[in-house]
Structure 1
Amino acid sequence: MKLRYLLSCAMYFLMTTLALAQSALVSDPVVRQSGLSSNTAYSSYRLGAGDVVNIRVFGEEDLSKEKIRLTDAGTVPYPVLGELRVLGMTVGDLERLITDGLKGRYLVNPRVSVQIDEYRPFYVNGMVEKPGGYPYQPGLTVRKAASVAGGFKERASSSKMYVIREGDPSHRPVKVDLNTEIGPGDILTIEESFF
């Protein structure tokens, strides 16, 4: 009996502390100015075909799904909500979509977390040691992409580097330099230098 009372007091204390911490965080001017709710910062990364995501609904194992790969149409199958079109959404957008879909009809206050398990690949061609497709990494530049592909070959040009952007319908190569950002699905070509 005494143990039960102590446990209930501890739970009350913990819940009160968490509620106060959350209200302090939301009232923080930095959090308010950035538009963040609670303590979650959302990435600007846009989901696309080939990305693999993990979806967790806290306390609901049946609604939590691991390693769901987006189809070529940019959709993911999800229990009770069906096929969700998520192409171009951010992780935060997908969390809100699932939360709104579950709220009311299925759960009172769903807490949804989405994480990217595997990014879709980018591609490197030409004068690198190991041309091919590699999983995208946030903050990727031409220099880093070449390193991931084994580094530049001896005859690689430092001025003839081109990228075809994933979303460009014309598939037109654009000249880039070593510090140009590379996105998921981009195709980077390093040409040979002729002395």
Structure 2
Amino acid sequence: MTLIVCQLALAEGDGQYKLASGDVVRIAVYGEADLSFEEVRLNDAGTFSYPFLGQVKALGKTPNQIEELIADKLRDGYLKDPKVTVSVITYREFYISGEVQKPGGYPYQPGLTLQRAIALAGGLTERASTKRVTIVRGNGETRQGEKATLETAILPGDTITIEQGFF
């Protein structure tokens, strides 16, 4: 069996969402109900099992790249001209902690900003500082302090910490 690699997160600079552990995708192969799946969750390694192909590693790949990968592999001895569609059903969560009313994990929504993430967490506490914010990106990149504004884009898998302000 072939091992295929792929990850979901927003690609640097191109705006394409890259898959990662925890994402849920829909795979549709036109005219092939046995090869179509309503919900496939990527496991901790960013892989999923697919008929004929075995473990497909999706970590770091876009849905379009997964479409091409599955179509190419199915074309190689299984189907004459497969039409494959891969779409993200549920994005992995982002996390917010510190000086917010309800810290925890929340479902990512496209277009999410720090301001909207704070609103989802019930708003800031009276001690919160919007200037002392740390965002650890799902890809390991860290942004601190003044670089993070209320308009900063939040990505799936991000961890946000709102510190106390000094009065």
**What TM-score bracket applies, with the shorter chain setting the length?**
0.7 to 0.9
Answering whether residue 106 of structure 2 is matched by residue 139 of structure 1, we say: no
- Residue 83 of structure 1 corresponds to 55
Following TM superposition, by how much is the alpha carbon of 1:128 offset from its aligned partner in structure 2, in angstroms? Answer: 1.1
Residue-pair matches, total: 152
Matched, 1:124 2:58: no
What residue number does 2:20 align with? Answer: 48
- Measure the CA separation in 1 of the matches of 2:110 and 2:16: 10
* 1:19-38 paired onto structure 2 within 5 Å: none
**Which amino acid letter does the alignment assign opposite residue 89 of structure 1?**
K
Counterpart in the other structure of 1:151: 123
Q: Normalising by the residue count of structure 1, what TM-score does the alignment of the two structures yield?
A: 0.73
**Partner residue of 1:68 out of 25, 35, 40:** 40
Q: Identical aligned pairs, as a percentage?
A: 50
Q: Counting helix residues as a fraction of each chain, which structure ranks higher?
A: 1
- Structure 1 residues without counterparts, runs of 5 or longer: 1-42
Q: Supply the RMSD in Å over aligned alpha carbons.
A: 1.7
User: Higher strand share goes to which structure?
Assistant: 2
**Does the 8 A contact of 2:95 with 2:105 survive in 1?**
yes
Runs of 4+ aligned residues of structure 1 deviating over 6 Å after TM superposition are none
- Give me the whole-angstrom Cα distance separating, in 1, the residues matched to 2:120 and 2:16: 23
Higher relative contact order by CA 8 Å / sep ≥ 6: 1 or 2?
2
Gaps of 5+ in 2: 1-14
